[in-house]
Amino acid sequence: MKLPENLPRFDSVTPEEAQRLLCTCEYGFMPPRPECVSFSETLGNKEFCAGKAVLHKVTATVENNGKSFSFPFSYVRPNAKESVPAVVLINFRGNIPDLYIPTEELADLCIAVASFDYQEVSPDNGDFESLAGGFLGVDRSDPHAPGKIAIWAWAASIVMDYVEKRPEVDLKNVAVAGHSRLGKTALFAGLHDKRFSFIWSNDSGCAGAALYRGKGGETAEAIHRVFPFWFCPNYANYTASDDAFPFDQHWFLSLLAPRNVYVASAENDLWADPQNELLSCIAATPAFEALGVSGLIGNPEKSEAGLTLHEGTIGYHCRSGEHYLSREDWQKFILYMKKHLK
Ligand code: GCU
């Protein structure tokens, strides 16, 4: 596959500078960690999934300078004797089970899953006053203020604090995952929280895994028109053309090296653009190799349904069908994760 010409080279700046540019031009800076984090369990089901798992209903409370904020999440622990890998899923709903979480299959595969409803952290609109926005005192007159992607990613780290305390979790093998806008969010969470050793971004498209340059479907201009609040205010200065950014999204993937990054596409999801999601994995590969691990292994001609590249530190698949977080996406990701467990 041919990379777009004029793709900014990741090695033209230091990783610190690359991360600073992503924050100042696109997502804003990650909100600081709260001074105090605590958890209370409000309800559980000891006989979940026919007694194969335990459901924990948890409330996280964070505190800063006398202010506090709470949000709920769920944690499903499989009944396994050995320690288990875990996935933190940033989700669209708080339901358990949910159409985006194959809870029982994950319990059968001995994978723990923690999940939360992103809008219980901060609403998916321009409201920065309520919930976490108010708690964090987000000031959108600052050009580098966090957008919603950064705020939701901040919450994923709080959930990770809980996962870290679970005695059954194998902490070398914890993934952060999300679909679509929450796939963009999973990448940002992974960038800032090195406890996530697998970062899975499903159908994340524009401002997610896909390269901006040469992109089909959604462009920076289109995403900014509808969802300006996902980004920092300064994003508006870069959306006029697809080569206005001093970087491209392969820098985002590159900064996750040498951890495992998994990008999943759907063949008919042209708005997200499977080709540019795959090209980004190819363009990020040298940054992984520079750290002594493989990047994407394989020499695909294009992204198409059935393409599965699972050998490298960057993993990729494209399935048939539409924009969705499907059972097939989970099956492929779990296969990949099990293959690369530390
Ligand atoms: C819209 C948006 C995408 C986003 C998607 C989603 O389609 O344009 O950028 O990924 O919503 O989150 O479902």
Ligand 1 and 218: CB distance under 6 A: yes
CB-side exposure of 229: number of CA atoms within 13 Å?
A: 14
| Residue 312 covered by a domain | yes
Q: Whose CA is nearest to atom 7 of ligand 1?
A: 271
- Write down the pTM of the prediction: 0.98
103: part of which helix (H) or strand (E)? helix 103-108
CATH assignment of the domain containing 145: 3.40.50.1820
Ligand 1 and 178: CB distance under 6 A: no
| Residue 96 covered by a domain | yes
Within a 10 A sphere around the Cβ of 128, how many other Cβ atoms?
Answer: 22
Ligand 1 and 271: CB distance under 6 A: yes
Domain housing 158: 10-339
Q: What atom of ligand 1 comes closest to residue 323's alpha carbon?
A: 13
Q: What is the pLDDT of residue 14?
A: 98
Number of domains making up the chain: 1
Q: How far separated are the first and last CA of the chain, in Å rounded?
A: 31
Distances (CA, A) of 208 to 119, 153, 212: 19, 13, 9
DSSP 274: H
| Residue 5 covered by a domain | no
| Residue 3 covered by a domain | no
Tens of pLDDT, residue by residue, the chain (342 residues)? 999 999 999 999 999 999 999 999 999 999 999 999 999 998 789 999 999 999 999 999 999 999 999 999 999 999 998 999 999 999 999 999 999 999 999 999 999 999 999 999 999 999 999 999 999 999 999 999 999 999 999 999 999 999 999 999 999 999 999 999 999 999 999 999 999 999 999 999 999 999 999 999 999 999 999 999 999 999 999 999 988 999 999 999 999 999 999 999 999 999 999 999 999 999 999 999 999 999 999 999 999 999 999 999 999 999 999 999 999 999 999 999 999 999
| Residue 216 covered by a domain | yes
| Residue 162 covered by a domain | yes
The Cα 233–Cα 227 span in angstroms is 11
DSSP 101: B
| Residue 2 covered by a domain | no
Ligand 1 and 303: CB distance under 6 A: no
Substitution candidate for ligand 1 out of 184, 201, 218 with most atoms within 8 A of CB: 218
In the reported structure, the alpha carbon of residue 84 is separated from the centroid of ligand 1 by a whole-number distance in angstroms of: 32
| Residue 123 covered by a domain | yes
